[in-house]
Amino acid sequence: IAGITQAPTSQILAAGRRMTLRCTQDMRHNAMYWYRQDLGLGLRLIHYSNTAGTTGKGEVPDGYSVSRANTDDFPLTLASAVPSQTSVYFCASREGQSDTDTQYFGPGTRLTVL
């Protein structure tokens, strides 16, 4: 069982370019999340999805969009990247059957926008 995979592992991107970060889980979890982690700011929620077909905004959604066409995949898109989006991005998933469910994190994508 792979758990949660993210791609790419790292990326350097020119400002203004479009970029999609991929996240796939094979645990059949209902809920999925995207976070960014910045030094001194901790993990901040960008977008989330409680179940396939639904999405919601987190703390810092501006400049990002997501889709949840099926249970396994939850891609995060930066329509026009800016340097302030340089960060480490983590995808997470949760079974979603009860409030005690734990979130499990993917390995992360390190993104640099120049």
Partner 1 sequence: GQNIDQPTEMTATEGAIVQINCTYQTSGFNGLFWYQQHAGEAPTFLSYNVLDGLEEKGRFSSFLSRSKGYSYLLLKELQMKDSASYLCAVRSENQGGKLIFGQGTELSVKP
Does position 42 interact with partner 1 (CB under 8 A)? The reply is yes
Does position 27 interact with partner 1 (CB under 8 A)? The reply is no
Residue 100 contacts by C-beta under 8 Å, 6 or more apart in sequence? none
Q: Indicate which single residue of 19, 21, 23, 31 sits in contact with partner 1 (rule: CB under 8 A).
A: 31
Q: Indicate which single residue of 7, 13, 45, 52 sits in contact with partner 1 (rule: CB under 8 A).
A: 45
Does position 107 interact with partner 1 (CB under 8 A)? The reply is yes
Query: Is residue 84 classed as helix, strand or coil in its secondary structure?
Result: helix
CA dist 41 and 51 (Å) reads 28
C-beta closer to partner 1: residue 17 or 26: 26
Residue 89 contacts by C-beta under 8 Å, 6 or more apart in sequence? 6, 21, 34, 35, 36, 37, 46, 76, 108, 109, 110, 111
Does position 61 interact with partner 1 (CB under 8 A)? The reply is no
Q: Indicate which single residue of 7, 13, 27, 43 sits in contact with partner 1 (rule: CB under 8 A).
A: 43
Shortest Å, Cβ 50 to partner 1: 5
Shortest Å, Cβ 19 to partner 1: 20
Q: Which among 6, 5, 19, 4 is positioned nearest to 112, based on CA atoms?
A: 19
Does position 101 interact with partner 1 (CB under 8 A)? The reply is yes
* Token output for 84: 């302030």
